[in-house]
Structure 1
C-alpha cells in the first residue's frame, strides 16, 4: 500500500525533547465504574478496504460509517432497533484512490458530509468534502445524491457546527472554515492556525463552551489547541498545550506507566466539567495513550490547559514495525459519557476493541471494561492494510437514546449500552494511570 505523508506521520510519530512528568497516581476510595454490553452488530456490505469513522444522528435513529481504502464510500444505517442495525444505503466512492476517513451528519435532516483524501500518486484532484443529500432535496434514504463538493484540501476529518450552517475541516496548515447555508454552493475556506502553524488532524465542536477542540499532529506544531467559536465563522486561538520539550513515548515510559507526548491525534471534551481528553496515535513501537487536561476544572484554564491525568489502553504493549501490529495498542477516537457523578470515556481503541474508562477522578483515569469487536471475523472481507480484528476506529455516544456506536475497520458496526455499573476490569486496567502537570 502506498502511504501518504499524513499516514506516514501518524505511523512514525514525531520526536520531542526529554522532560519530566509527575507520575504519582491520585488513588481515591471510590470504586471504579463502567460496563459495556453489546446490543447489536452487522457486517453491513462488508466492502474491500474496510470501514472508518462513525457518527450517530442527533435523534439516534440513524448511524453513518465511512470507508478508508476501498470502493465502499459511505453507509447509512438504521439503528431504530439497536439489536438489528440495518444498512439503508451504500453510496460508493467514485474512485478507489479516494479515502472517506470521516463522515458526519449535518444538523439539517437529510444531509451528511464525507471527507475526501487522495490515496493515489496525484492526491490533489480527489481532495475536498462531499455533501450528500439523502432526503434534504433531491435525494432519498435509499437513493442519495451528491449535492456538491467542497473544495477543501486533503480532508482527513471534519466537523459541522450543530447550531449553525458552518463546517470545519482539517487542513495541513490549520482549520478550514466553510459557510454551508446553501449546501449546493458552499463558500469560504479561510484557514485558522496557531503560531507556529501546524497540521490539524481532528476537530470537535463544544457548544457548551463555544470552543473548537483541535488536535495538531505536527507540521510545525504538535499538541492541543482550543479555538473560540463564539462567532462560528471566525474562530480565534484561545489557548494551547504544546508537546514541544516533553518526553516522547518509549519502552521505559510504557513499562513505568508514564505518559509520553507525541502525535496528538484527537481531542474531545467532558460535557459537564471543564476537562478535555486528548488521545495520541502511534503506529508502532510504544503506543500512544490518553491525556486529561484541566481547562477550568481546577487550576487550569482555556488559555492555559493543565495536564492532570493519563492512561494507556488496558493491554498496551510494544508494537512490531509491520502491518500485522500497526496501531494495535495505541488509543484512538473517543467520547465522554456523563451520568450523574460518574464520567466515563468510551473509545474505539483499535485492537482493544471498544474500551470504557472511568474518568470520574480525572487524575486517575482507569480502563474498566471492553468489548472485542471481532464478531463474524471469519466472514469479513475488511481492511487489508492492518492486522486481525478487532480494529475499532472510534466510539460515538448518542445521549437522546443512550447508545454507543462503534465502527470496526474489519467487522462493521456495533451498538452498545454503557452504564456506570461496577467495573469488571479492562485487561490489566490499572497499568499506566498517571497524573502530572505536563512538565
Structure 2
C-alpha cells in the first residue's frame, strides 16, 4: 500500500534535534548501483556479498509502525518498539529464526507515547521501553517503562509493568550487560539509574557534556560508554569511562563545532552535524559514528581511530567516511529520511569486519570496514516483504524503511526492524568488497 506523508514535515524539526515463517531460505541479490554520480559508488566494481533471509513477520502489524529492535543475549527472543501508534512493545520468539513469532504485544497507555527504543535487561524476564510524550495511564509523561515478562508477576504472554522510571523525554536507553545499571538519554547528558530492584529504580544523576544525548552503547570489555550528542550545547562523539558504571567520566570527545556541515559539502563528502548514533569495533580500537538528517543532504557514517593508529580515546581521529549506496539530496516531502543512515551493528568474521545497518529506504545494508580508512558497501537487502499488506507508519514512505540492525553473536544472525514491514532475521556472510579484496 502507499503510505501518506501528510504528517511528514512535522517530524523534520524533531529529528534534527534529536508473521510469516519461511520454509526455504532465500538469497537477496543487491542491485548494481555502481557510481550514482555523487562519488559514493564503486564504479560497478562491487562484488555481491551473501545475505540470507531466514525469516520475516509483520507481527500484529500495528498502526504507526515499528521502531528499534533488540536481541536477548541468548539469541532466543527479540524485541520491537513502536513509534507513533498504539502498538507499544513486542516480544518475539526467534528460537526458530525461520519463523519469528509474536509472543506478546504490550500496548502503549496512550497514542501520544512513543516507544522508540526497547532493550533487554541482563536478567531474564525484564526489558525496558522508552517513553516520549503522552501519559494516559495516570502518570506523568516521558520516562522509561520497566516491563516484567517473567521476572516477577509477569509472564511471557501476559507482561506487567514493574515500574516507570521518572527520566526525561527518553528516546534511547542502554542497559549495562554486566551490571544492574541503565543509561538514559537526557537533554543535558547521560542519565544513570540503579536497577538492582526493578520495582524501585533509583538514581537519575546526569553526567557528561551539557548537551542533548541521542544514543549510547556500552563496551563492557573496555569499560566505555560510546555516546552520540546531537546538539543543545554539544554536537559530536563522546567516549566515557565507566570503570565505575554509576559515575561515568568523559575520557575523550570529537566535537563537530566549527567543522563543515553537510550543507557545506557535496553529497558523498563528510559533513559534521546531527551526530546520531555511535558503536564500537569489538576487535580493534575503532569506533563508528552515524549522522541522521531527515531532509536535505543526507547524513553518513564516520570511522574514528581511538587507538588503532595515531588516534586515542582522549583524541579520536577521523579516518573514514561513507554514505548509503544511493545517497542523494532529499528535497521532496516523500523523500523524508530515504537516504540518510540510521542505526547499525558491527560483525567480525575472520579478517573481515562488516558494519550492518538499517538505512531506511536502502533497507539493510552491509559495509565492509576491514580497511577502516575506506569503508565500502557490499550488498543490501530491501526490507519490503508483504509491504502491500502492512498498515505501517504513515509519516514516512513506502518500504523498505529499515530502522536498525542487531547482531546475535551467540547464534550468528541479525534482527532487522523495518518501520513498515516488521521483523526480519538475516544472516550475513562476508565477501570481497573491492577488487583484490579478501
Normalising by structure 1, what TM-score? Answer: 0.88
CA contact (8 A) 2:8 2:396 kept: no
Q: Deviations over 1:369-409 (max 9, x none)?
A: 00000100000000001111111000000100001100000
After TM superposition, give the deviation of residue 8 of structure 1 in Å.
1.6
Query: 2: distance between equivalents of 1:10 and 1:181?
Result: 33
The question of whether the paired residues in 2 share the 8 Å contact of 1:12 and 1:282 is answered with no
| Matching of residue 10 in structure 1 with residue 15 in structure 2 | yes
Aligned pair 1:378/2:383, yes or no? no
The corresponding residue for 2:358 is 348
2:199 counterpart residue number? 184
Provide the residue aligned with 1:389 in structure 2.
399
Secondary structure in 1 matching 2:13: helix
Alpha-carbon distance in 1 for matches of 2:323, 2:380: 14
2:241 is aligned, of 211, 228, 238, to 228
CA 1:210–1:5 in 2, change beyond 3 Å: closer, same or farther? farther
- For residues 5 and 284 of structure 1, do their structure 2 counterparts lie closer, same or farther at Cα, with a shift above 3 Å needed? closer
**TM-score, with structure 2 as normaliser:** 0.88
| Structure 1: unaligned runs, 5 residues or longer | 14-23, 426-439
Aligned to 2:274: 263
Q: What SS does the corresponding residue of 2:199 show, helix, strand or coil?
A: coil
1:79 to partner: Cα distance: 0.6
Q: Distance in 2 between matches of 1:104 and 1:298?
A: 33
Match of 1:169 among 184, 187, 204: 184
Match of 1:217 among 230, 238, 244: 230
Q: What secondary structure does 2:431 align onto?
A: strand
Q: CA deviation at 1:126?
A: 1.7
User: Distance between the aligned counterparts of 1:232 and 1:32, measured in 2?
Assistant: 43
For the Cα contact (< 8 Å) 2:230–2:275, is it kept in 1? yes
Shift of 1:34: 4.3
* Cα offsets for 1:125-172 (capped at 9, x unmatched): 320000000000110000000001000000000000000000000001
| Deviation of the 1:242 alpha carbon | 0.3
Distance 1:12 1:248 in 2: 15
* Structure 1 pair 395–37 and aligned structure 2 pair: CA distance change class (3 A): same
The answer to whether 1:313 aligns with 2:324 is yes
Q: Deviations over 1:199-254 (max 9, x none)?
A: 00001001121100000000011000000001001100110000011111138521
Name which of 58, 71, 76 aligns with 1:43: 58
Report what 1:125 is aligned to. Answer: 140
Question: Equivalent residue of 1:66, what SS?
Answer: strand
- Give the whole-Å Cα distance in 1 for the aligned partners of 2:223 and 2:54: 34
Matches within 5 A, 1:132-147: 132-147=147-162
The equivalent of 2:286 in structure 1 is 275
Matches within 5 A, 1:410-429: 410-423=420-433
**Corresponding residue number in structure 2 for 1:435:** none
Cα distance in 2 for residues equivalent to 1:119 and 1:367: 39
- Check the 8 A contact 1:331/1:350 in 2, yes or no: yes
From the superposition, tell whether residues 355 and 317 of structure 1 become closer, same or farther in structure 2 (CA, over 3 Å). Answer: same
SS in 1 for 2:243: coil
In structure 1, the partner of 2:418 is 408
Match of 1:329 among 309, 325, 339: 339
1:8-32 Cα deviation digits (max 9, x unpaired): 242479xxxxxxxxxx99x9xx997
What are the ranges of 5 or more consecutive residues in structure 2 without an aligned counterpart?
1-5, 19-38
Alpha-carbon displacement from aligned partner over 1:156-203 (angstroms, at most 9, x marks no partner): 000000000000000011110000000000000000122xx1100001
Deviation digits for residues 99-135 of structure 1 (CA, Å, limit 9, x no counterpart): 00000000000000000001699xx932000000000
Residues 156 and 4 (structure 1), Cα distance of their counterparts in 2 relative to 1, 3 Å cut: farther
1:362-377 matches, within 5 Å, as 362-377=372-387
> What is residue 428 of structure 1 aligned with on the other side?
none
How large is the Cα RMSD of the aligned pairs?
2.4
Q: Matches of 2:58 and 2:434 in 1, distance apart?
A: 27
